[in-house]
Amino acid sequence: MYQLPSLPTRVLLGVNLASLGALLRSGPRRFGRACTRSWQASRDTPSDALARIPEISVGEIVGARRPVIQMPVTQYENGMLPNHELLALLSILVAESPKEVLEIGTYMGHTTRQMAENLPNGVVHTVDLPEDFASESDPNRTLPKDDFHLIQNRTVGREYKNSPCASRVRQHLGDSASWDFSQAGQSTFFFIDGSHTYEYCKSDSEKCFALCNGRGVFLWHDCDDGHPGVMQFVNEWRAMGRDLRRIAGTAIAYWKSA
Ligand SMILES: C[S@@+](CC[C@H](N)C(=O)[O-])C[C@H]1O[C@@H](n2cnc3c(N)ncnc32)[C@H](O)[C@@H]1O
C-alpha cells in the first residue's frame, strides 16, 4: 500500500528554484508550502495537474467594465484560437486597454489581427520563428520545441498583412529563447502561445514578467492536459503565491499580477 512520505520528506523533495524564490521573498512558512506543492506537482498526472488550477469566468475578470468587442466568427483553422477562446481573450484585452501588447507565436496572425482591430490606439508586437526556420539547423536546441507541424505550415502574419490595422502591428522574427524582448517596447499585456513545452513556457513567461517589471496581464494558451508543460509551469507559478487561473470553458490560463 502507498504510504505518503512525512512532511519533512515532502518539503525536502520539493526544494527547487521556485520554492527557494518563495523563501527569499516571503519567508519559511511560504517556503514550506511551496516545497510541498512542488513535490505534489512532480507526482501529478495531467488530469491532477489540471484539476489543481482553479477556474475563473470571463465575467468575473472583466467585472463592471463591460468591454465591447468586435470579432468575426470564423471556421476553425488548425493552430488558431477557436472562436470562444478569442472572445475571452478580446474581452480581457479591451477591458484592460493596454497601449502595447506582446504575442509570442504569431502563426497566421488571426489573433494578432483581432487584437490590433480591437485596440484602435494600441500597438501589437508579435514574434514568431524566422520564416526559413529548420529544426535540423536550429541554433537554439537547448530548449525543446513542439508543434513542428505548425512551424512547417505557417505563413507568418498572413491574416493581418494587407489589412488597415497592419500599421499598428510590429512583426518580429526570432526565437523567443534568444530574441531581445526589449523590442516589445512597454508591453503590459502578454499572450504566450509559442512553443508549449515547460522550458519555453517558463522562459517566455519570465521574460515577459521582467519586461513589464512584474506589472502586467498574462494569458497562456493551451493550458490543458494535452500540454503538460504548460500546466506544470502554471502550477509552479501558483506555488509561488501567484493566483493564475484557467478561464472557464477554455484552455487559456490568466493572471493579472498587479
Ligand atoms: C499555436 S501557434 C500560435 C497561434 C496564434 N497565437 C494564434 O492565436 O493564431 C504557435 C506559433 O508559435 C511559433 N513558435 C514556436 N516556437 C517558437 C519560438 N521558440 N519562438 C517564436 N515563435 C515560436 C510557431 O512557429 C507557431 O507559428
- Establish whether residue 172 lines the binding site of ligand 1, counting it when its CB lies within 6 angstroms of any ligand atom: no
pLDDT tens-digit profile of 56-92?
Answer: 999 999 999 999 999 999 999 999 999 999 999 999 9
CA 105 / ligand 1 centre spacing (Å): 3
Domains of the chain as residue ranges with CATH: 7-43 (no CATH), 53-256 (3.40.50.150)
Q: Is 225:47 a contact under the CB 8 Å cutoff?
A: yes
Q: What's the confidence (pLDDT) of residue 3?
A: 66
Measured distance between the N- and C-terminal CA atoms of the chain, rounded to whole angstroms? 45
The rounded distance, in Å, linking the Cα atoms of 84 and 155 is: 24
| pLDDT at site 2 | 52
Tell me which residue has cell 477591458: 95
Ligand 1 atom closest to 177 (CA): 19
For ligand 1, is residue 204 a contact (CB within 6 Å)? Answer: no
| C-alpha 22 – ligand 1 centre gap (Å) | 31
Farthest-apart Cα atoms in the chain, separation: 65
- Give the pLDDT confidence of 148-200 residue by residue, as tens digits: 999 999 999 999 999 999 999 999 999 999 999 999 999 999 999 999 999 99
Question: Which of 77, 86, 129 is the pocket-test mutation for ligand 1 (most atoms within 8 Å of CB)?
Answer: 129
Which DSSP string corresponds to 184-206?
A: GTT--EEEE-S--SHHHHHHHHH
Q: Please tell me if the CB atom of residue 157 comes closer than 6 angstroms to any atom of ligand 1.
A: no
φ, ψ (nearest 5 deg) of residue 169: -105, 130
User: Among 106, 125, 158, 224, which is best to mutate for testing ligand 1, by the most ligand atoms less than 8 A from CB?
Assistant: 106
Confidence of residue 44 (pLDDT cuts 50, 70, 90): confident
